[in-house]
């Protein structure tokens, strides 16, 4: 005897950014929504600037941030039940991070470091504002947190981004900006 459930397709959860942002996700520009709508790959170009302080160079190398200069960029998004893994390839230089949700926050993980962000809607896209961080599960004071700027927006029919990272007492570590389009 067949059951009524035999023809029911598995339910796919909404994309990570849609879960975190709720109804605000639907108001994002189309290219920003598309890039955050699930697994896939995007390609484009980026400009990278690196900090000069020896500790900034050490941190950049530890995380695998790309060298200064102009790069072709390829970003792969792999999704699973826990979230997304983003692998960014600036030419031959690659680094990855894992993104997930914790309450109302987007959490990005680099090894033992976790950074919590509010996703703030803006007219042309969104901005990520750090609200907390931890190391190996231990909450860390915000006064010691890396300073971040992360924005995404749509302009001229493309997805654009700008990311900058600086450390207290050290200064700039890395900044990269550019554009992507779905592959």
Domain that holds residue 133: 16-182
pLDDT tens for 6-23 read 566 666 778 999 999 999
Q: How many domains does the chain have?
A: 1
Look at residue 28 and tell me if it is in a domain: yes
Distance separating alpha carbons of residues 75 and 180, to the nearest angstrom: 8
Distance separating alpha carbons of residues 108 and 94, to the nearest angstrom: 17
Per-residue pLDDT band for 4 (boundaries 50, 70, 90) equals low
Q: What is the CA radius of gyration of the chain?
A: 18
Look at residue 10 and tell me if it is in a domain: no
Look at residue 5 and tell me if it is in a domain: no
- Over 70: is that where the pLDDT of 3 sits? no
Look at residue 45 and tell me if it is in a domain: yes
Look at residue 2 and tell me if it is in a domain: no
Count of beta carbons in the 10 Å neighbourhood of residue 110: 14
Q: CA torsion sign, 77 to 44 to 105 to 122?
A: negative
| Secondary element (H or E) of residue 32 | helix 30-35
pLDDT tens for 122-149 read 888 999 999 999 999 999 999 999 999 9
CA dihedral defined by 10, 87, 139, 13, rounded to 10 degrees?
A: -10
Q: Please report, for the domain that includes residue 110, its CATH number.
A: 2.40.128
pLDDT tens for 96-127 read 999 999 999 999 999 999 999 999 998 889 99
Look at residue 122 and tell me if it is in a domain: yes
**Residue 182's pLDDT is what?**
92
Look at residue 8 and tell me if it is in a domain: no
């Amino acid at each position: 005897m067949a059951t009524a459930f035999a023809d029911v397709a598995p339910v796919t959860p909404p994309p990570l950014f849609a879960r975190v942002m709720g109804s605000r996700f639907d108001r994002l520009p189309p290219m920003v929504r598309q890039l955050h709508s699930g697994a896939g790959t995007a390609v484009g170009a980026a400009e990278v600037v690196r900090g000069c302080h020896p500790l900034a160079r050490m941190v950049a190398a530890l995380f695998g941030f790309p060298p200064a200069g102009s790069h072709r960029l390829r970003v792969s998004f792999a999704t699973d039940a826990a979230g997304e893994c983003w692998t960014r390839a600036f030419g031959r230089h690659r680094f990855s991070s894992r993104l997930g949700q914790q309450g109302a926050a987007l959490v990005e993980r680099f090894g033992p470091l976790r950074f919590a962000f509010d996703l703030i809607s803006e007219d042309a896209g969104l901005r990520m504002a750090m609200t907390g961080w931890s190391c190996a599960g231990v909450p860390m004071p915000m006064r010691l947190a890396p300073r971040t700027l992360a924005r995404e927006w749509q302009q001229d029919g493309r997805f654009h981004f700008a990311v900058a990272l600086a450390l207290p007492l050290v200064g700039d570590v890395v900044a990269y900006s550019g554009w992507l389009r779905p592959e």
